[in-house]
Chain A
Amino acid sequence: MMGQTAVAVKADNFYHQSTNKYSGILSWLLTIDHKRIGLMYMVSIIFFFLVGVIVGVLMRLELMAPGKTIVDAQTYNALFTLHGVIMIFLFIIPGLPAIFGNFFLPIQIGARDVAFPRLNLLSYYLYVIGAVLALLSLVLPGGPIDTGWTFYIPYSVRSTTNISLPLLAAFILGFSSILTGLNFITTVHRLRAPGMGFFKMPLFVWATYATAWVQIIATPVVGITILLVIIERLFGVGIFDPALGGDPILFQHMFWIYSHPAVYIMILPAMGVVSEIIPTFSRRTIFGYTAIAMSSLAIAFVGYLVWAHHMFTSGMSDTARWIFSLLTFLVALPSGVKVFNWVATMYKGSIDPQPPFLWVMAFIFLFSIGGLTGLVLGALATDVHVHDTYFVVAHFHFVMFGGTGTIFFAALHYWFPKMFGRMYNVKFARISVATFFIGFMLLYFPKFIMGYMGMPRRYYDYLPQFANLQMISTIGSWILSGTIFFIVGYLLHALFKGPKAPSNPWGGVTLEWHIQSPPIMENFKTIPTITHEPYDFSQLKEMKNA
């Protein structure tokens, strides 16, 4: 480890400085400090993530053996819907931008806070309200929603379970997401420190910036779609009801116009975190800075135009199908650009395999599998065969959990000492990467095989020939969830009992490593003037002497 100048952590940091006149819990609940809001998001989001994990484990338990194992079919329908809704709307969409974007985006561009601090707090409470409504719908009469997280019409209009309330929750969560995106875009445009041109911004900022645009462009469309479904349920206007002339496939189009770009909301910030971690632990400037920055924007743009590849079997003209297939292949290119640049950055670097770097290694491996199997789904002929099978489920979990989920842990391990001023047990962290990887492969890789053999997704029961693979998958879920709870455990321990962390434990050079851990309120005593390129490691010497 470099930069080990043991800076004594000063007592004055943002944990002791309030933006309002209150102290104690109210100083947190009413705070407008971006770091505190980021931490409040962190607590809420990790809570819901763990709930989602438990639901996932229950699903795997049910599927451990053919026939009924622990729950009945209707409960299983509710479980997979719940798992999807929680993981997507409450964990992975807000996850990286709301926690790490909030905490580090202003710091990395040399700002004291985001452009609209009060709006930022409002976004948080909208998130909370959305989450509460979603949970409320589980216990209210009618029963938990059972449509799957895609809310497909006409079932979502006919089902007698609570549909409108979780839909409203999704709408409110979308609004929260829009406000966060709007805040970040304005922050990047207005609050960069002197000398911080757009092409001196760290790549995490670029990625979050591109994400923010997707949030703004895509989310309103699903907002109106969700409202239309609620209106359909309440008044029966017929817009999506075939009996009255409406078109259910139009719903699918409008749903995916958002929900496909949403996967880029999920993955782009993760790619930004990777672009931070790799240079730091390779002691080498990033290879192809401009290419990585531009590929984020390219993904954001092209990603908006590929939605109908979710609907190759839904009824569309052949022309539309091959155009969407072509665009789908095109959107794989910028991701490829990034992967090659990351690998090239490591070449001749001085690699220090600390836990965040190991997480990134796991990410590159898992995400590449996820990305390449995406091409199988994007190709028309093969998609007809594997559409709506476990193959899709496996692909999605490899890119989302293997991609964004893994990087969520990478970011957590990378910035933990900065956020809390404490260090976790590095040995535990290394072990957990390994067991995470094993559990992950056991859990999700058999799904590729089962999907290829024809096992449909969302089925409660299955044929005996799938029994062995389903069993392996369930065993994987125990290892994986065990690892996750282990990680939460040692991080919580580090939070209270961990040794004090120096201000720059990894030898990073972006702005957050120039300030103390944990940072002070408003981050900088004086706003820095930026003279270096973002990943110029020649700064390390001056930083040590400073």
Chain B
Amino acid sequence: MRNDHEAVVVEQHVHRDDVGARMGMWLFLFTEVLLFGGMFLVYAVYRYQHTNDFRLAAMELNTGIGTLNTIILLTSSLTVALAIAAIQKKNKFLSILLLSVTILFAFMFMVNKYFEWSAKFEHGIYPGSEELLNRSNGQILFFGLYYVMTGLHGLHVIIGVVILLFILVFIIRDKVTFDNYVKLENAGLYWHLVDLIWIFLFPLFYLIQ
């Protein structure tokens, strides 16, 4: 249809709108909250049905590693916030440093998670295992939810790391600068969400015993 190929490139089709970009990010975070909200709903229903089993199963989780990971994630939220403050003050180097520390913390979180899950696997506690199937339904559900919810959260940590790595490159290449840092802000928002979800997961699985 109408094929005279005089492609006229329209310059700057994508305009810059920081408020709009943040608004879009908040809306996206809202959908993430609802995604996990579905999981929390399932958790609430089964906790109500199997209160005692959930209590018993929770005692088997390693509160020490959980606490350590909470501290790690909370601190990483601080460093990513400071990275934004640094770039606002035109301190590119400090921002890169703080962002790298954030990513490092994320790796530490995942390493802890790896050891925690492996320990559970060694004890034969994983979905479909003989050990677990011999237990009560409530405990099966608790560990099922434990793997699904912390697994989904872990997936978000990985996605967060990928996003932060991109932003790191952007800062190094001066695509994110002191007067144009909305990408870093949005990545920070995403990272805070990852942190926030963990703050709810931690007491629900490790602390209520």
How many A-B contacts are there with CB distance less than 8 Å? 142
Alpha-carbon separation in the docked complex, A231 to B155 (Å): 14
A245 close to B (CB within 8 Å) = yes
- Which residues on A sit within 8 Å (CB–CB) of B137? 238, 244-245
Alpha-carbon separation in the docked complex, A13 to B170 (Å): 35
How many residues on chain B are close to A (CB under 8 Å)?
48
A228 and B148 in contact, given A244-B140, A245-B141 (Cβ under 8 angstroms) = yes
- The minimal Cβ–Cβ distance linking A444 to chain B, given in whole angstroms, is 34
- The minimal Cβ–Cβ distance linking A116 to chain B, given in whole angstroms, is 6
Alpha-carbon separation in the docked complex, A17 to B10 (Å): 7
**Is B13 a contact partner of A27 (Cβ separation < 8 A)?**
no
A246 and B141 in contact, given A15-B1, A33-B13, A221-B34 (Cβ under 8 angstroms) = yes
B37 close to A (CB within 8 Å) = yes
Alpha-carbon separation in the docked complex, A238 to B145 (Å): 9
- Among A212-220, A432-440, A449-457, A529-537, the stretch that binds chain B is A212-220
**Is A115 a contact partner of B17 (Cβ separation < 8 A)?**
yes
**Is A245 a contact partner of B17 (Cβ separation < 8 A)?**
no
Q: Which residue of A lies closest to B13 (CB)?
A: A19
Alpha-carbon separation in the docked complex, A19 to B133 (Å): 58
Q: Which residue of B lies closest to A119 (CB)?
A: B24
- The minimal Cβ–Cβ distance linking A248 to chain B, given in whole angstroms, is 13
- Which residues on A sit within 8 Å (CB–CB) of B2? 15-16
| The one of A228, A496, A522 that contacts B13, using a Cβ cutoff of 8 Å | A522
- Which residues on B sit within 8 Å (CB–CB) of A185? 23, 27
**Interface residues as binary, B7-41 with A (CB distance below 8 Å gives 1, 0 otherwise):** 11110011101011101100110111011111101
**Is A239 a contact partner of B13 (Cβ separation < 8 A)?**
no
Alpha-carbon separation in the docked complex, A33 to B31 (Å): 26
| The one of B5, B10, B145, B147 that contacts A24, using a Cβ cutoff of 8 Å | B5
**Interface residues as binary, B135-159 with A (CB distance below 8 Å gives 1, 0 otherwise):** 0111011001101100010000000
**Is B45 a contact partner of A254 (Cβ separation < 8 A)?**
no
Q: Which residue of A lies closest to B15 (CB)?
A: A112
Chain B residues within CB distance 8 Å of chain A: 1-2, 4-10, 13-15, 17, 19-21, 23-24, 27-28, 30-32, 34-39, 41-42, 45-46, 49-50, 127-128, 133, 136-138, 140-141, 144-145, 147-148, 152
Chain A residues within CB distance 8 Å of chain B: 11-12, 15-24, 27, 32-33, 112-113, 115-119, 178, 182-183, 185-186, 189-191, 216-217, 219-221, 223-225, 227-228, 231, 235-239, 244-247, 250, 254, 257, 420, 495-496, 521-522
